Structure 1
Amino acid sequence: MNNDDLAPGIAPGRVLFVGAGPGDPNLLTLAALGALEEAGAVLVDSDELRRLLDHHQVTVDPEATIASFASTEQAPEAPLEARVRAIRTAAASGAHVVRLVAGDPFLDGRVSREASACVQAGLDIEIVPGISAMTAIPEYAGVALDRGGVHLINVVPSTGDASELGSAHLWANHGTLVVHATAAQLVDVHQHAVASGRANDEPVLLTFSGGSTQQNSRQAKLGDLPRVARTLDPEAGIHVMIGTAVEDSPRDELDWFESKPLFGWRVLVPRTKDQAGEMVARLEMYGAHADEVPTISVEPPRTPQQMDKAVRGLVEGSYEWVAFTSVNAVKAVCERLEEYGLDARAFSGLRIAAVGNATAKALRAWGIVPDLVPVHEHSAAGLAAEFPAYDEVLDPINRVFLPRADIATEVLVAGLVELGWEVDDVTAYRTVRAAPPPAETREAIKTGKFDAAVFTSSSTVRNLVGIAGKPHSHTVIAAIGPQTSTACTEHGLRVDVVAPQPGALELVDALAAFAVERRAELLAEGRPVTKPSETRRRRKVVTA
């Protein structure tokens, strides 16, 4: 790197070539997550890879520069010179640059020449290995690669020229071949495999969108590849498995990924990303793809004086307890303390209550460990039921600070007063209806493109219908409890699932149980197992 590229006194930043794994964001390594958190710039090959950065467990500095290398149908891979130039430009500010590549950098990403060019330009590099798609995708498809020898051939990205399909010695006539190619290259894959001595009747497994909730596997024979190629998008990426492991693997037993209860389901989650983290993770565990659609927007109270007075009382020791009933309440109080230049030490000597696990997690992220989290029911009523009564001997102060939303119920206040406490019931934030989602999302909601919708409160039902319209009758409706179920019914929605306990994770578990029962019913009737968005049928309510 030319020193003229740098600002005075600034050394070029390090360049980390980070493997992103096969596509499932849950397979990002701890090293990859740490590199992304520290990055000042992130450079990716495609918008599809860029979407990994939106995952709830991935943290990227809001000030970091994020860019995708441009690609066209004629040039699916940006030229080496352009990629290195972009990296040098990003590193010139002294920022750590993450070059995020699919799979493993030196196997799937094929960026060794790019890394060498960076070193030649005077940049320090680091390689963060990732899980290779070449080995992970067969496992996601239920193919055991420990059955005979394995030969890996990666021909993507490529121009489609048969000469780029690798040296002849790679195309062994025994064991298992794993080939990453595009549909346009399947004819050449067939020719090379046959030329190496493989028979046209050798079993083949084609896996599309491997490692994602859109994964789809198709069995065929080697001789079928030219015909199959004509039915596909030429640019579609495919992992082709040929030979021993495909023939010997008991896929009816090992096909664990595509047989998940909610595999491929598109689930509508009417919550913001920061509120829906646990729920989204649970849905993904069951194989679903979650679309978060915020239905409320959080704003400061119209008159902040009451909140300011309460925060001063908190600092001055006017309270014995602070009871948090939502993540937003934690955020509102902590942000107000920060405005005063205070941190978690302001809660020293106070006892802290959290209504549930999500609220407790938000407190811990701020360095506060709650003293009370309800064991049986994560709700205002559940917190009131387990809150200790005021004891004039043991409790030096009889006041509780209760920061809440402007539309919160009075259940907790009444319960605390009954226990002998004086409650400062303070509006910490207002909830207003969010802006409508994009037209594409609204159309998907109304036309049944979503397989399920999960509602966690009555307000999410009202607000979603208000900003986006009523979900289609084919969409499975899941409600967190009886009140939310009643709100769904009032808005003309047929409720299919009610969580046995009021909790986000319990709601997702109940939806998965519904899907298992639904699958069993379809199989018993001799019908194909389709997603709700693909079929019409009458449904019954289940509670577990």
Structure 2
Amino acid sequence: MREADYGTVYLVGSGPGDPGLVTVKGLRLIEAADAVVYDRLAPESLLAHAREDAEFVYVGKRPGDHSMSQEEINATLVRLGQEGKNVVRLKGGDPYIFGRGSEEALELLRAGVPFEVVPGVTSGVAAPAYAGIPVTHRGVSTSVAFVTGHEDPTKGRTDVDWKTVAKGADTLVLYMGVGRLKEISRQIVAAGRPPETPVAVVRWGTLPEQRTVTGTLADIARKVEEAKLGPPAITVVGGVAALREDGLGWFERRPLFGRRIVVTRARAQAGELSAKLEDLGAEVVEFPTIEIVPPGSFDPLDAAIRELDSFDWLVFTSVNGVDAFRERLAHHGLDVRAVRRDARLAAIGPATAERLRDCGLRVDVVPDEFRAEGLLEAIPAGELEGKRVLIPRAAVAREVLPEKLREAGAEVVVPPAYRSVPSEAGREALEKRLRAGEIDCVTFTASSTVENFVGMFGEGTAELLGGAKVACIGPITAETARKHGLTVSVEAGEYTIPGLVDAVLSLYEAAG
């Protein structure tokens, strides 16, 4: 292939661990990439933003276990670029701060493969910030030195001039040095720093499993060993490390900090729940037990759309139903203006109502209780006699709503607008974490998520959950969970995503 036909390799810093800290440009490139070559420390959740047909190449390294040598990584990037692919080389932190990104760039340059560098938030700044430690502070530190604590072991010597470094900057930030902390501390003291100089070691900074150990140059190695704190970790040496004790450690004070919570909602709808839980400090494990797909046939929905102006009521029981209805209108070259101007609209809850309003539709009825029974009570009894009602919804759903509407004298049309089908992606990984007792809570947002979860793990599901709590969005979902032998720890008082988040929060606030 001619050089003019080569793809571009983007050396993208994924940030320190929290996927929310990736840059806007970095995320855009991930979404468009033909191939993603990623490290061990690059957040896996970012990979979910890549195209389904993208090629993924894992090149992670851990102490004593390298999936590829650096030379092999370089060759892989060159090969993919020469194949005409646009490649994201996703690296933890920043590509040019102890990330060997410059070595990869030089190899690409030699091969004539175009490349760009997208800087990332480095863990040497972010991890201390999440631990309540600013690396500079007026009156305490006006200079910072970034130092590697893990050099090439084959050199037999160190390139770090500890005497110059120790005296040349107020704050020292050490990358990858936790395994040599005793020796490094000794050298810094020997270079003239007082033994009582504050030190903080932050492991897995910016992530829910973040842990911080504080001490001084005299005792930090012992404290880290006692705490069994291993890599990856950032070490901060200097007066700024003491500021954590002044109350700046905001991240670890969040109410769900360190809790691992499973979200079983379909991936397309998981965003709101995941984001709210993460904002409260939880580590969210997205495990979509359902996937939203088209119905077996669109014929019934298409027939309803052709006679849309004959319906007096349109009733929507989920956001998915709204989305599917709108997409099918668009398929026929229509939009919401096809809905009769005097038709009345009902939504089962505020999220569904909000989606309808986003489409430009007025919502007439939203029940106080967000389930079918509540919707029936909210529609005035005299409004249904002789009326035509359209309910675009899931192919499989409870029949209580259409049955009761018919009993009230309405003609009810219920075309399937979508199907919820089981999704087993990630089952083995989640089972492993459940068996290891690493999951604190599993959330269910619909009976179908319960059914599919139990279907995947079988009769031993309750035993597999062990001490993990179960949180359900409402009584119908909770009833389904109990039917399958699961112990429901909490039900949302309001049958919405914010209500479910509040319910989860109450579990741990009550536990203190």
Same fold? TM cut 0.5: yes
Instruction: Give, as a single letter, the amino acid of the residue that structure 2 aligns with 1:184.
Output: G
Cα distance in 1 for partners of 2:490, 2:202 equals 33
Query: 1:350 corresponds to which residue?
Result: 339
Q: Which residue of 1 is the match for residue 467 of structure 2?
A: 474
Residue deviations 1:406-450, cap 9 Å, x none? 332345446766998643211234445555973553465467542
Answering whether residue 415 of structure 2 is matched by residue 426 of structure 1, we say yes
Q: Tell me the residue number matched to 2:197.
A: 202
Are 1:456 and 2:463 an aligned pair?
Answer: no
Structure-1 residue corresponding to 2:234: 239
Change in 2 beyond 3 A, CA 1:196/1:97? same
Distance 1:230 1:130 in 2: 30
Letter matched to residue 115 of structure 1: A
1:148 corresponds to which of 137, 141, 145: 141
Aligned equivalent of 2:317:
325
Separation (CA, whole Å) in 1 of partners of 2:422 and 2:87: 39
**2:248 is matched with which residue?**
254
| Correspondence list, 1:40-189, <5 A | 40-46=34-40, 48-49=41-42, 51-54=44-47, 59-69=49-59, 71=61, 73-74=63-64, 81-107=71-97, 109-145=99-135, 146=137, 147-155=140-148, 158-160=151-153, 163-165=158-160, 168-172=163-167, 175-189=170-184
Q: Deviations over 1:185-207 (max 9, x none)?
A: 32342233223211333222111
Counterpart amino acid of residue 408 in structure 1? A
Residue aligned with 1:49, SS: coil
1:191 matches 2:186: yes
Contact 1:445 1:470 in 2 (8 A): no
2:497 partner amino acid: A
Aligned partners of 1:390 and 1:99: how far apart in 2?
63
Q: Percent identity?
A: 33
Q: Tell me which amino acid in the other structure corresponds to 2:46.
A: L
Structure 1 residues 440 and 60: CA distance shift in structure 2, 3 A: closer
Length-normalised TM-score, structure 2: 0.81
Matches of 2:425 and 2:510 in 1, distance apart? 34
Task: Write out aligned runs for 1:220-231 (5 A).
Answer: 220-227=215-222
Deviation track 1:437-488 (CA, whole Å, cap 9, x = no partner) reads 7355346546754212222234434443443211646333322223334444
Deviation at 1:35, TM superposition (A): 1.9
Unaligned residue ranges in structure 2 (runs of 5+): none
Give matches, 1:273-422, under 5 Å.
Answer: 273-296=267-290, 301=295, 305-313=299-307, 323-330=315-322, 332-333=324-325, 342=332, 345-350=334-339, 355-356=348-349, 368-372=359-363, 374=366, 378-380=370-372, 399-410=388-399, 412-413=401-402, 422=411
Cα 1:483–1:234 shift into 2, 3 Å: closer
Q: Which consecutive residues of structure 1, in runs of 5 or more, have no partner in the other structure?
A: 520-544
Question: Distance in 2 between the 1:117 and 1:518 partners?
Answer: 54
CA contact (8 A) 2:12 2:95 kept: yes
In 2, are the aligned partners of 1:184 and 1:229 still within 8 Å (CA)?
A: no
Q: Using the alignment, how far apart are the partners of 2:78 and 2:379 within structure 1?
A: 58
Residue 163 of structure 1 aligns to a residue whose secondary structure is coil
In the alignment, the residues of structure 1 paired with residue 181 and residue 489 of structure 2 have an alpha-carbon distance, to the nearest angstrom, of 44
> CA offsets, 1:117-163, max 9 Å, x none?
43444344333222221111111111133242342324276435661
Task: Give the match for residue 533 of structure 1.
Answer: none
RMSD, matched Cα: 4.0
Give the C-alpha shift of residue 52 in structure 1: 3.2
Partner residue of 2:477? Answer: 484
Corresponding residue SS for 2:453: helix
1:54 to 1:15, Cα distance in 2 relative to 1, 3 A: closer
Q: Show CA shifts across 1:222-242 (max 9, x none).
A: 133554576688972211112
Aligned counterparts of 1:439 and 1:36: Cα–Cα separation in 2:
26
1:436–1:467 CA contact under 8 A, matched in 2: no
CA–CA distance in structure 2, aligned partners of residues 429 and 70 of structure 1: 39
Partner of 1:31: 25
- Contact 1:497–1:510 (CA under 8 A) maintained in structure 2: yes
Amino acid in the other structure paired with 1:220: G
Q: CA deviation at 1:276?
A: 1.9
In the TM superposition, what is the alpha-carbon distance from 1:114 to its structure 2 partner?
2.8
Separation in 2, partners of 1:259, 1:179 = 25
The one-letter code matched in structure 2 to 1:325 is T
Following superposition, the deviation at residue 350 of structure 1 comes to: 2.4
Letter in 2 for 1:130: G
Shift of 1:87: 2.4
Distance 1:499 1:330 in 2: 23
May I ask how many residue pairs the two structures share in their alignment? 497
